[in-house]
Structure 1
Amino acid sequence: MSMRWQISRDRAAELAGLAAPLALTAVLVPFRASFPNTDAALALVLVIVAVAATGNRLAGFLAAVSAAVWFDFFLTMPYERFTITRHTDIETTVLILAVGAAVTEIAVRERRYHAAAARRAGYLDGINAAARAVATGGEPRALIDQVCGQLTRLLSLSACRYQDGLAGIGSPPRLLRDGRVAFGDAIWDADHEGLPMSTGTELLVEAGGLLQGRFLLTPGRGAHPTREQRLVAVALADQVGAALAGRRMAGHR
């Protein structure tokens, strides 16, 4: 899912959050004398649920506020005025707001959970693909290119290249095995700052404690890979290390 598509979908949901409750209450106006307000409120809650399930948090909140406002204006007496005289209508309006906000939070959390599960499944697929390439004894160069592509997508890099048997040249920042980033003698705040932009970050490729090479990672502007993503990057580099070590052992036989 591209960022541009996500933004467009969120904007559409926000507009729907404003417009859909207005449209529904307008449809109910001819029946408001015979249609119970509680039923109208339930219908508006369904609209809020639909918006919250497809949009972001703001879209759900906008839908809740819009539903409460137009419920007051069109469906409570005195009609077509932002005034509520009956205690039950006040309670219903407050409940629309409260339930709408609660439903929105539940929908946002559920969507985040599914997105995180999908991301983790993708990480495992990438590691498994690299492991299969190692197990089948594929050409290390092809695996390196494959992992470079995975690292580029995983860490939102602008460039990724591999250097064989090199480390420490120029003392670039280093992605450590625990997911932290060392920059000189300090630990870089990668969670908030992303990978350092001033220079490439090295990711060592090792096997059995022996250095095989390194990936040089050039971050894309605005990228902030998570600790989990950085740990997956280390796991991918380990697969390359295993493949290179296995090829070199085979060459010495």
Structure 2
Amino acid sequence: MVRRITRDGIAMVAALAVPLAVTSLLVPLRSHFSNTNAALVLVVAVVAVAAFGNRLAGAIAALSAAIWFDFFLTLPYERFTITRSADVTTAVLLLVVGLAVSQLAVRARRLEVIAITDAGYLAQIHDTAELVQSAANPHAVVEQVRGQLSSLLQLRGCRFEYGTLMGHPPRLEQDGTVLSGRTRWDVDRLGLPAEEVELRAYANGRFCGRFMMDPVPGTVPSLQARLVAVTLANQAGAALNTTRPAIDSA
């Protein structure tokens, strides 16, 4: 959380400062450098800010670039006035193109993060699958999954319970949703419930035990992370099912 806020804060400052700095560097060249080329340079600056930050930073950078383009690079200079229709068109296009390209840059960065995250998730699933195949003791799989869940969902604690089900704690379902009582808990808005959440381990549709997870308050794991957690729990269930009879869920 702190890292995200810090990065977004830096991006917001850059959204205001970078277009101004780039435009200032172009001022000595404005009599030898076409405004169209200057606008292209500013678009590159907008993309750089958006790729580093977020959509809001990209939008502010595009607006800032258009304003300083008008002030420094169009006649009359150092006034917020444009007298030539060609410069008006260039300024408008700079704003529009800057906004559009900045949104694409943000989306590209997010897709890259998702791809990297996917690779990390797949590695965890693969590692546990290998352990399921090779481990003589299924409890080693349970312990590995318990550690993976703690990291994946940012848990304060996680334990595994064998035997029959007792109580009715909030439950992470197989589709990644969370049930609290008979109602669905809005994880994306509220985060995980501030109490132990159960994640049942199944093998061939039969209950083999459950992980009791203690979330950090305010933690908002993505649906993707929750689905990976379900997969890991079921791998633990598959390991347990090879050595003990499964237990019917209550």
Relative to the length of structure 1, the TM-score reads 0.89
**1:8-27 aligned within 5 A:** 8-27=6-25
> Residue 160 of structure 1 contacts residue 215 of structure 1 at CA under 8 Å; is this kept in 2?
yes
Contact 1:166 1:214 in 2 (8 A): no
Instruction: Choose from 107, 112, 115 the match for 1:114.
Output: 112
The Cα shift of 1:10 comes to 2.5
Q: 2:214 aligns with which of 201, 213, 218?
A: 218
Please give the alpha-carbon distance, in whole angstroms, between the structure 2 residues aligned to 1:31 and 1:205: 67
Give the whole-Å Cα distance in 2 for the aligned partners of 1:80 and 1:187: 58
User: Relative to structure 2, which stretch is displaced further, 56-65 or 206-215?
Assistant: 206-215
Aligned: 1:96 with 2:94: yes
Q: Matches of 2:128 and 2:135 in 1, distance apart? A: 11
Match of 1:177 in 2: 174
What is the distance in 2 between the residues matched to 1:82 and 1:210?
A: 71
* 1:76-112 per-position Cα deviation (integer Å, ceiling 9, x unaligned): 1111111111111111111111011001110111112
Residues 16, 51 of structure 1: 8 Å contact kept: yes
Structural mapping, 1:185-204, within 5 Å: 185-197=182-194, 199-204=195-200
Of 57, 60, 63, 1:62 maps to 60
Q: Distance in 1 between matches of 2:206 and 2:25?
A: 72
Number of the residue aligned with 1:230: 226
CA distance in structure 2 between the partners assigned to 1:137 and 1:143 by the alignment? 7
Contact 1:165 1:211 in 2 (8 A): no
Q: Unaligned 5+ residue runs, structure 1?
A: none
Aligned counterparts of 2:61 and 2:124: Cα–Cα separation in 1: 39
Amino acid at match of 2:175: D
Q: Which of 32, 43, 46 is residue 44 of structure 2 equivalent to? A: 46
> Are the counterparts in 1 of residues 139 and 240 from structure 2 also a CA contact under 8 Å?
no
Whole-Å separation in 1 of the counterparts to 2:73 and 2:65: 11
Residues 1:141 and 2:136 aligned together: no
In structure 2, give the amino acid aligned to 1:8.
Answer: T
Q: Distance in 1 between matches of 2:189 and 2:63?
A: 33
Q: CA RMSD in A?
A: 1.8
1:132 corresponds to which letter in structure 2? E
Q: Cα distance, 1:187 vs. partner? A: 2.9
Which letter does structure 2 place at the counterpart of 1:245?
A: N
**Identical counterparts, % of pairs:** 53
User: Which residue identity lines up with residue 188 of structure 1 in the other structure?
Assistant: W
- Write the distance in 2 (CA, Å) between the matches of 1:209 and 1:37: 67
1:119: Cα distance to partner?
Answer: 1.9
Moved over 6 A (4+): none
Partner of 2:244, secondary structure, is helix
Name the CA distance, whole Å, in 1 between partners of 2:233 and 2:152: 13
CA–CA distance in structure 1, aligned partners of residues 185 and 26 of structure 2:
58
CA distance 1:181–1:76, change in 2 (3 Å) = same
Question: Once the 2 structures are TM-superposed, how far is the Cα of residue 138 of structure 1 from its aligned partner?
Answer: 4.3
Deviations 1:163-209 (A, max 9, x none): 12242x12112222222222223333334333221x21111122234
Match of 1:246 in 2: 242
Q: Between Structure 1 and Structure 2, how many residues are aligned?
A: 245
2:213 aligned partner, one-letter code:
L
